[in-house]
Structure 1
Amino acid sequence: MDHEVSQRRVGTNGIELDVHEAGRPGDPVVLLLHGFPECAYSWRHQMGPLADAGYHVLAPDQRGYAGSDAPDTVEAYHVDHLAGDLLGLLDDAGAAQATVVGHDWGALVAWDMARMFPERINALVAVSVPYTPWPAPPTAVLEHIYGDDFFYILYFQDVGPPEAELETDVRASLHHILWSASGENFPRSGVERLPAIGTGFLDVVTAPDDTAVLPGWLTAADLDVYVQAFEHSGFFGPISWYRNLDANYTATEHLSADRMIMPSCFIAGSNDLVIHGRPERLASMEANVPDLRRSVILDGIGHWTQQEDPDGFNEALLGFLADLADLDDASARR
């Protein structure tokens, strides 16, 4: 079966989002949350298979991205607003609950939503970013770790310089970022330790200068989609998600991980620098997430998990969902 992916504009939480949709309304909802610097297109290999498996799939271009509304204040990208947008999408779909699948920043929002609104999430799949609670405000932790050295999240805190750097040549910026964090660039995808003063984000990524030279998982047409999205939106909105890390921490630190009562799954690539060489991150997730059913590591895959290995990713995702459906069926027969 080949389900068509459609796109519609949805009013939610005071703004409008472009939402990519597949499957039948009324079927169980799967909400796909993209990361940075991506958009809903990053789920292009998942929407059809999920719809074929009997799910109503919603993949929004989230607040600040692509053609969705992009408020012009940093505060508008606080997790309260990001989560509110998504609750509105569920309400629009008539869904009391959804399975939430989040990659990169989408995973961070999914973990926060699981503590903020556990009653709206019946299952959670985090991709690339495990649940690792901060011991203090994030920028303070990062400043302690990096000192006078460059780190992109700290660089992103100031409005202006990151936008100017990345918007100078959007195609080159996206090409270099996407290439640098790809599994096939490993191990050279590591961030070099350079002084913070005078260093930009693109100084610490490694990629061919020629934007026509692409990693195997990314076609020229794929890159065109991302370029068009960011030429439309710019980078202020997407980077402002990072500028709310401390405010998000303050707003959610009182919410215990014990609230995450839903079955959870983690999927990542072995060459993803978010977890590679950092076993403490996976250990923290295993210790803190109450009902972690699966942790799947895809060999040789980098940060763009579901795009780099769609077959392996879909097998892990659909297997997790099928197990949950089997358990639900067994419970219903009792």
Structure 2
Amino acid sequence: MPKPTERLVDTNGVTLKVIEAGERGNPVVVLTHGFPELAYSWRHQIPALAAAGYHVLAPDQRGYGGSSRPEEIDAYNIVELTADVAGLLDDVGAEKAVLIGHDWGSPVATNFPLFFPDRVTAVAALSVPPVPRASAPPTALWRKIFGDNFFYILYFQEPGVADAALSADPARTLRRMIGGVRTTGDEFAAQRMIAPGPEGFVDRLPEPESLPDWISQDELDHYIAEFTRTGFTGPLNWYRNFDRNWELTESTPAPTIDVPTLFVVGTADPVLSFTPRDRVRDVVTGDYREVLIEGAGHWLQQERPDEVNNAILEFLGGLR
């Protein structure tokens, strides 16, 4: 099996760096990463999917890594993000693809069939489940829920503030995010993330005693080098489009996801505490399956690659 290759693809007014593996003509699988990650986050899935007979495309999404970083905040809205993926399909001559997303990549994957219903075969979401459109602008709802307490998405809204804090020491930021974003028995650490006060996001994360056993220093250094070079403004701009995305999804070409859909999540993923799964059926009308991986945290496909690969390949096998 040839090794994955990297190339640049012009799509939807931006240039995306794409990791590609597998033979053209095979069923296409697009992998969309989350925050603060890269196509590199799928390094354990790309060769496994290619070996199973799929043509894999894993982009650094706009704002990240080797891809374009538009300056305008509204350039990171969900219409543009899903259109980027459609352009990748055009580039390889594929009518349809399976979309698999993690974290922020999950909304890209689960919104794609709403905007491009004729171009998707199936969807898999990791860590963030498919959710229906909110009843009001999301930031208004979060302000009502959290009041004067800290909530990281609201903290990310003000341009420049989180950008400076996260970029001040990318090694510290990424070390704390990789090692500190999970549910633990540390009640004080959990409370600190929603307590009032002037501290920012990174300062509230615990400093890990050591790296998790699923990531090496060399692997972490890859992220550190990229985010030291690019900064965090592009990725943070994704968060600054929550209300704009709410407006843009009031009416979509397809009202629901009617293709087979898989949701995979770790039971120690803190995202589950504020992203409930009880309304999935409001947005998914096709076949739906959940896989919970006991004890796994947020960086799911890196932390538990074998279990994630098995779940994805079983799901894809059922489509054939």
* Partners of 2:6 and 2:17 within 8 A in 1: yes
In structure 2, runs of 5+ residues without a counterpart are: none
Amino acid of the structure 2 residue aligned with 1:38: E
How far did 1:141 drift? 0.7
Residues 1:153 and 2:144 are matched in the alignment: no
Using the size of structure 1 for normalisation, the TM-score is: 0.91
Q: Secondary structure at the match of 1:35?
A: coil
Q: Distance in 1 between matches of 2:191 and 2:7?
A: 38
Does 2:318 align with 1:323?
A: yes
- The one-letter code of the counterpart of 2:123 is L
In 1: Cα distance, 2:18 partner to 2:191 partner: 33
Q: Is the contact made by 2:44 and 2:302 (CA closer than 8 Å) also made in structure 1?
A: yes
The structure 1 residue matched to 2:294, chosen from 271, 286, 299, is 299
1:205 and 1:275 mapped to 2: Cα distance?
A: 18
What is the identity percentage for the equivalent residue pairs of Structure 1 and Structure 2?
A: 45
Separation in structure 1 between the aligned mates of residue 155 and residue 136 of structure 2, nearest angstrom = 19
Alignment map for 1:20-99 (pairs within 5 Å): 20-99=19-98
* Aligned CA distance change for structure 1 residues 257 and 179 (closer, same or farther; 3 Å): farther
1:224 aligns to 2:225 (yes or no): no
Rounded to whole Å, the distance in 2 between the matches of 1:76 and 1:121 is 23
Q: Which residue of 1 aligns with 2:246?
A: 249
Q: What is the one-letter code of the residue matched to 2:318? A: D
TM-score w.r.t. length of structure 2 = 0.95
- Are the aligned partners of 2:263 and 2:289 in contact in 1 as well (CA < 8 Å)? yes
State how far apart, in whole Å, the 1-side matches of 2:77 and 2:284 are.
23
Residue 256 of structure 2 contacts residue 284 of structure 2 at CA under 8 Å; is this kept in 1? no
Whole-angstrom distance in 1 between the partners of 2:238 and 2:246:
12
Would the aligned equivalents of 2:117 and 2:253 in 1 still touch at CA under 8 Å? no
Q: How large is the Cα RMSD of the aligned pairs? A: 1.7
**Partners of 1:171 and 1:106 in 2: CA distance:** 23
Query: What secondary structure does 2:277 align onto?
Result: helix
Alignment partner, residue 328 of structure 1 = none
The alpha-carbon distance between structure 1 residues 144 and 162, as it changes in their structure 2 partners (threshold 3 A), is: same
1:227-275, Cα deviation, whole Å (9 max, x unpaired): 1111121111000000001000100023387431111110010111111
The change in CA–CA distance for 1:302 and 1:167 in structure 2 (over 3 A counts) is: same
Query: Cα distance, 1:117 vs. partner?
Result: 1.1
Q: Is 2:308 the partner of 1:313? A: yes
Cα contact 1:186–1:271 (8 A) shared by 2: no
Please tell me the residue identity of whatever aligns with 1:152.
Y
Q: Which range moves more in the overlay, 130-139 or 265-274?
A: 130-139
Call closer, same or farther: CA 1:301–1:256 in 2, change over 3 Å: farther
In the alignment, residue 160 of structure 1 is paired with which amino acid?
G
CA contact (8 A) 1:262 1:291 kept: yes
Q: Distance in 2 between matches of 1:74 and 1:5?
A: 32
In the alignment, the residues of structure 2 paired with residue 68 and residue 232 of structure 1 have an alpha-carbon distance, to the nearest angstrom, of: 12
Give yes or no for contact 2:167–2:231 (8 Å, CA) kept in 1: yes
1:200 paired residue number: 200
Please point out which of 278, 283, 286 is paired with 1:288: 283
Distance between the aligned counterparts of 2:27 and 2:191, measured in 1? 40
